């Protein structure tokens, strides 16, 4: 049911980092109205609702689900809660936008996909890379045939570690850097090739003292996986928490007739030299002195704005969820990362389709 103003009504669960990404993106979408927000931290919630002009706030997401003005529930809580919040939303007849990863376990991810399918509701997997303007343009160029047939893709997301206390233990997050960061390249590889991954060979640091840097982290702080796609295309994906200097997201696509390279985070047209420093350069950058390449608008360049506008349109016009951003795509992505963990643990290639 739309809001009184005829807009798609949004309820956001989680009012911190991802909550802010979603709230900013929805605020820029003319067809969306953020009806309510929910968090178990009252102080944080009050600041959040005031900042974004949200009228209703809830401390219990079950209560929020009863609000008839909410069409879409945006899940911006730690990974281990994605399943419970999504199932409550589904039960209440709401569509869902779920942050990555879809869930911490394959069982939960499967249950979510099945429940939404059964109810005819939309489960939208928030893979922002698929909507990032530079990667959208890269896909258009590749689809046009400019680089011939794709042979090999190299893609990574890396920074110096998650800020979230929930990212420190496996029960809360389901994995380390390869899950949290490597899920973006894993999704994008499937999306741009239109192929399923049929084999994964991986190496990861194994947590705590086996990590390269983060000895208090239960999950890995470095993970790399070699993927083989159904047609033989290869991809190397990487997620690491050992990168200083700001979030580094890069994609290289090698084809029979050419190459496409995308620098998603350091590709700013702005260059700044400052001896004093300034307030913000880009995500996870800790220094702003000397030469820097400040982001102009990460909500846009990393895809959140166009992603959430696409999801709102999808609900408003009852369109199918875009390929690459369906619940099933979240499930397939999780399977690739879980296959990587199994491969690293058992020292053998693993077919992620066996985990679906």
Strand positions, DSSP E, 222-353:
222-229, 234-240, 248-255, 258-263, 272-274, 290-292
- Copy the structure tokens of residue 318: 């009852």
Residue 225: CB minimum distance to ligand NAD, A: 18
Residue 100 binds to ligand NAD (criterion: CB under 6 A): yes
Candidates 13-21, 63-71, 109-117, 218-226: pick the segment binding ligand NAD (CB under 6 A): 13-21
Residue 13 binds to ligand NAD (criterion: CB under 6 A): yes
Nearer to ligand NAD, 88 or 253 (CB): 88
Nearer to ligand NAD, 16 or 313 (CB): 16
* Residue of 46, 114, 146, 166 interacting with ligand NAD (CB under 6 A): 166
26-55 footprint of ligand NAD as x/- string (CB under 6 A): ------------xxxx--x-----------
Nearer to ligand NAD, 233 or 248 (CB): 248
Residue 216, classified by CB atoms within 10 Å of its CB into exposed (0-12), middle (13-18) or buried (19+), is exposed
* Residue of 67, 128, 221, 298 interacting with ligand NAD (CB under 6 A): 128
* Residue 64, strand partner residues: none
Block residue for tokens 């009863």: 66
Size of the site for ligand NAD (CB under 6 A): 25
CA distances from 100 to 61, 78, 126, 300 (A): 19, 10, 6, 18
Please state whether beta strands 72-75 and 290-292 pair in parallel, antiparallel, or not at all (unpaired): unpaired
Residue 108 binds to ligand NAD (criterion: CB under 6 A): no
Phi, psi dihedrals of residue 5, rounded to the nearest 5°: -85, 5
Q: At what angle do helices 327-346 and 106-119 cross, to 10 degrees?
A: 160
Residues near ligand NAD (CB under 6 A): 13-19, 38-41, 44, 61, 76-79, 81, 99-100, 126, 128, 164, 166, 180
């Amino acid at each position: 049911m739309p809001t009184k103003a005829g807009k798609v009504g949004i309820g956001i669960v989680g009012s911190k980092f991802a909550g802010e990404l979603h709230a900013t993106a929805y605020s820029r979408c003319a067809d969306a109205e953020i009806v309510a927000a929910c968090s178990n931290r009252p102080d944080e919630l009050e600041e959040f609702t005031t900042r974004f002009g949200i009228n209703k706030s809830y401390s219990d997401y079950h209560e929020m689900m009863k609000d008839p003005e909410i069409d879409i529930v945006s899940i911006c809580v730690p990974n281990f809660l994605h399943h419970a919040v999504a199932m409550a939303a589904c039960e209440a007849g709401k569509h869902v936008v779920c942050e990555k990863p879809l869930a911490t376990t394959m069982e939960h991810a499967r249950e979510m996909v099945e429940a939404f399918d059964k109810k005819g509701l939309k489960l939208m997997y928030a893979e922002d890379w698929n909507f990032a303007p530079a990667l959208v343009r890269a896909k258009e160029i590749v689809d046009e045939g400019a680089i011939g047939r794709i042979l090999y893709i190299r893609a990574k997301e890396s920074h110096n570690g998650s800020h979230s206390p929930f990212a420190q233990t496996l029960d809360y997050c389901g994995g380390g850097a390869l899950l949290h960061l490597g899920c973006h390249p894993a999704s994008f590889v499937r999306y741009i090739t239109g192929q399923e991954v049929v084999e994964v060979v991986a190496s990861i640091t194994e947590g705590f003292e086996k990590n390269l840097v983060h000895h208090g982290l239960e999950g890995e702080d470095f993970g790399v996986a070699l993927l083989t796609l159904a047609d033989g295309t290869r991809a190397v994906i990487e997620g690491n928490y050992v990168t200083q200097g700001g979030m580094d997201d890069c994609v290289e696509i090698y084809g029979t007739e050419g190459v496409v390279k995308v620098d998603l985070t350091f590709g700013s047209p702005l260059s700044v030299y400052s001896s004093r420093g300034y307030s913000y350069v880009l995500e996870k950058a800790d220094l702003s002195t000397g030469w820097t390449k400040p982001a102009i608008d990460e909500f846009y360049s990393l895809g959140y704005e166009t992603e959430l506008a696409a999801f709102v349109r999808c609900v408003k016009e009852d369109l199918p969820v875009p390929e690459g951003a369906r619940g099933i795509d979240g499930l397939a992505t999780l399977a690739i990362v879980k296959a990587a963990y199994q491969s690293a643990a058992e020292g053998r290639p693993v077919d992620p389709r066996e985990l679906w």
